[in-house]
Amino acid sequence: MSFDFIKSCIFEFMSYFVPQKVKYKIEGKCLKCGKCCRQIRCFGLRNNTELKFMQFILPHYKRFFITGKDNEGNFILSCKYLTDDGKCSVYNIRPKVCRNYPAKSISFNAQMIDGCGFNIVKKEFKDYL
């Protein structure tokens, strides 16, 4: 297992318990297109063994399958419960990671998918005052 993968596991675990500093905020609205469910960037996962491990320790990852890799070699995942019209077929029982997407605030340099109704606004120091 790579160091990036171990770091990714630790950050995933900590995200449930440790409050994060807010550096960016999300604005906009969902267009209900399903792009976010077809192009999930999974930072730190670089091979099938690491994905299987994540699916073992975090069962909600079992809903995702690999559709490709980004320029840095990280997996791009898609959800197996997404319908052809971009809707979730198990919307009422979707996991927390899906219900909370996109997070109201994030602490890393994220990007939204082109054409998404949400955008990321970087918070400046004065915004904290």
Q: Write out pLDDT tens, residues 79-121.
A: 999 999 889 999 999 888 888 888 766 656 667 788 888 888 7
Q: Is 80 left (phi over 0), alpha (psi -120 to 50) or beta?
A: alpha
Q: Output the pTM of the full model.
A: 0.67
CA 115/CA 67 separation, integer angstroms: 19
Residue 12 lies in domain: 3-128
Residue of 49 and 126 predicted with greater confidence: 49
Taking a C-beta distance cutoff of 8 angstroms, is the pair 121, 112 a contact? Answer: no
| Residues pairing with 101 in the sheet | none
Domain count, the chain: 1
The beta strands (E) that lie in 29-117 are given as 40-42, 64-69, 75-79, 105-106
User: pLDDT averaged over the chain?
Assistant: 80
